[in-house]
Structure 1
Amino acid sequence: MEFEFDLEWCLTGAKYLTPNESARVNANPTDGKAIDALILANKSYIHSINVLNDYCKPQMAEYRKSVVKHEDSEIQSQALDKLYSKYLIEFKKHKMPLK
């Protein structure tokens, strides 16, 4: 699997998106339910990255271009809205694998 994203940044981001799950595991590293919840949350995060990477590349490129070119905030916002709309459609189509 090849990511178009910085994987280390993404995994660091996952910690910020799973603070409750991470805190439960840190508080009790042997709690199986807490570990399972953290694993599921991180799988969901990785699945989101995969959906963006596999199905939203043109929209991602358009958004990145608007940021790199320092286009005005309205253009960047429109590009981000297009990216997010496409992401939602594709995320619903491509359910997260359970395993």
Structure 2
Amino acid sequence: MKRLSPVVGIMIGAASLGGCATKSYVREQIAPVSARVDTLESRLQQTDGTARQALAEAQAASTQTQGNGQRLEQLNGRVDTIDQRLQAQESRPKRARN
């Protein structure tokens, strides 16, 4: 018990001497971290804006690509029809001109 009482006394003394930090001390300690957080938040907002703009452009390009694909399908149909007509004309016997 005699050995334990100095250790307990030191622990109680250290806890009571530590005290509480003042508001100004806490603000001084937090200020650099807060400034970095503000900078990172600003950069994050810029990055988010850039990402949103890129997404909008990608969606517009996708819509345009779909429209172009539909046009190509229509043109393919027309080309196939013309090709069939040409093949039908070529397979007919040619008449001699008088």
Q: Quickly name the TM-score band, shorter chain normalised.
A: under 0.3
Higher helix share: 2
Quick check: which has more Rg, 1 or 2? 2
TM-score by length of 1: 0.27
TM-score by length of 2: 0.28
